[in-house]
Structure 1
Amino acid sequence: MINQQLEKLIYKSERPFWHFLLATPLYFFTISMLLKMLHLFYEGRIMNGLKFSLAVFFMFVCAAGLTFTKKVYTNSEIKDVRFNFTLFNIALCKDIVFKKVEYVSVYKNHSDRDFEVQIWLSETKKKSVSTHLNSQSAFNLAFKIANGLQVNLLDATEKGNFKWMEKENF
C-alpha cells in the first residue's frame, strides 16, 4: 500500500473523439446482438446462438480496441514501472509490473520499420513495452518513463550508433 502512494502517473493514452464516434455504433450493435444471441439460446437454437456469440465477441473487441485506456505509473525510489489497461475504468487485465529497471531504450526495428520502447531489467534482460510508428511518439513515452524512474535513456534508433540521451533533453 505504501508503494502505491509513492507511484506517480506519468502517461495516460488520449483517445481522439472520433474513436468514440466509431465505437458508439459498435457498442450498440454488440448489445443488440447480445440480446438476439440470448433469445436464440432461449429458443433452443444452439448453433445459431454460438454463431452470434462469436460475432458479439468480435464486435466487442473492435469497440474496446477503440476506447481502452493505457496508464503508466512509475516509482523512482524502487525503480518500478506499472502498466494499467482499463475500459471505462474497469481493469482489462492484471497490471503489468517491471521491477528494478536499469534503463529505458528506444529501438528501431529495421525489419518492421517501427520503433519499440524497451525496458532493461539487466544487461541482457529486456522487455518491449510499446511499439510506435514514428520516433517522436516512441521518444515521448520513453522520456516520460525514464524521467519518472530517474534512469538513463538510450537512443538505439541508428544501427551500430547507440547514444545515451542527456537528462536535460528530457
Structure 2
Amino acid sequence: MGEKKENEISIFTGKRAWYELLLASIFFGAFIYMIVLFVYFAFIEVSIKIAIRAFVTFLLCGTYCLVYGFKFSATKNMLINLETNTVISRYIIGPFSYDVKLKATEFEYISFFEDRYGEFGTNLWYVKNRHYKMYSFEDKESAFQFSLNLSNKLNIDLLDATEKGNFKWVEKENIQ
C-alpha cells in the first residue's frame, strides 16, 4: 500500500446503490439492442423505409438510454493537491474514467449555496471571482458539513450563501 501524503486531499463519492446500477444496465442494454436493430434493418433486411424509422428511433430513444445509463452509473472522485493547487475531478463509469484538471494559483474560500432547483451546492473559490463547482447535496446540513470539513483541511474561510443577498462568513471556531 502507498503512503498517504500530507499535501493531498481525496474525496470519494462511494459506490452506487444496487438499484441504480440495475437501472443503468437496463438503459445500456436497451441502447445496445437499438444498435443491433438498426444494423439489422439497415444492412441485413434492406428496407429503406424501415431503416430510416429505425435510425430516427435510435437517435431519439438511444440518446435517452445512453444519457440515463451514464447518469445512473457515473461517480465522481476528487483529488486536491495542496502543493501545486491542482484539483483533479475523476468521472468513472465502470472500468472507464475521465480526468478533468484545474490549476489554481491560490484557494480563497469555500461557499455553500441553494440553487434554483432546491439543491445545495459547494463551490471552491480561487483567483478573485473564479470558482469550481464541487458537489451538490439534497439537504443543507450535508452541504454544510462537507464545506466545513473541506475548509478546515484547506485552512480557508467558509461562506454561507444559502440566502440570496444575505451572505454570512461562518465562524468555524464556534462550531467545533
TM-score by length of 1: 0.77
Following the alignment from structure 2 to structure 1, what is the Cα–Cα distance between the partners of residues 85 and 154?
A: 6
Instruction: String of CA shifts for 1:87-134, please: whole Å, max 9, x gaps.
Output: 11312x54142523211111234x543322112113333343333331
| Residue 165 of structure 1, CA deviation | 4.3
C-alpha distance in structure 2 between counterparts of 1:127 and 1:101, whole Å = 10
In the other structure, the counterpart of 2:140 is: 135
2:86 maps to which residue? 80
Which position in structure 1 is the counterpart of 2:127? 122
1:149 paired residue number: 154
Question: What residue number does 1:62 align with?
Answer: 68
SS in 2 for 1:113: coil
Secondary structure of 1:104 counterpart: strand
Matched, 1:166 2:172: yes
Aligned length: 164
Which of 99, 104, 114 in structure 1 is aligned with 2:110?
104
Q: 1:155 to 1:119 in 2, by over 3 A?
A: same
- Structure 1 residue matching 2:15: 3-state secondary structure: coil
Q: Which has the higher contact order (CA 8 A, sep 6+)?
A: 1
Are the aligned partners of 1:12 and 1:71 in contact in 2 as well (CA < 8 Å)?
yes
Whether contact under 8 Å (1:101, 1:120) holds in the other structure is yes
Query: Separation in 2 of the partners of 1:166 and 1:120?
Result: 18
Q: Which runs of 5+ in 2 are unaligned?
A: none
Q: Find the residue that maps to 1:14 and give its secondary structure.
A: coil
Which structure is larger by alpha-carbon Rg, 1 or 2?
2
2:122 partner SS: strand
Residue identity (%): 19
Change in Cα spacing, 1:112 to 1:20, as seen in structure 2 (3 Å) is closer
Name 2:12's counterpart in structure 1.
11
Contact 2:89 / 2:99 at 8 angstroms: preserved in 1? no
Check 1:108–1:27 CA distance in 2 against 1; reply closer, same or farther (3 A cut).
closer
Q: CA deviation at 1:139?
A: 2.4
CA RMSD, Structure 1 to Structure 2 (Å): 2.8
Tell me the amino acid that sits aligned with residue 87 of structure 2: V
Q: Secondary structure in 2 aligned to 1:12?
A: coil
Segments of structure 1 that go 5 or more residues without pairing to the other structure are none
Say if 2:30 is the partner of 1:29: yes
Q: Residue 76 of structure 1 contacts residue 148 of structure 1 at CA under 8 Å; is this kept in 2?
A: no
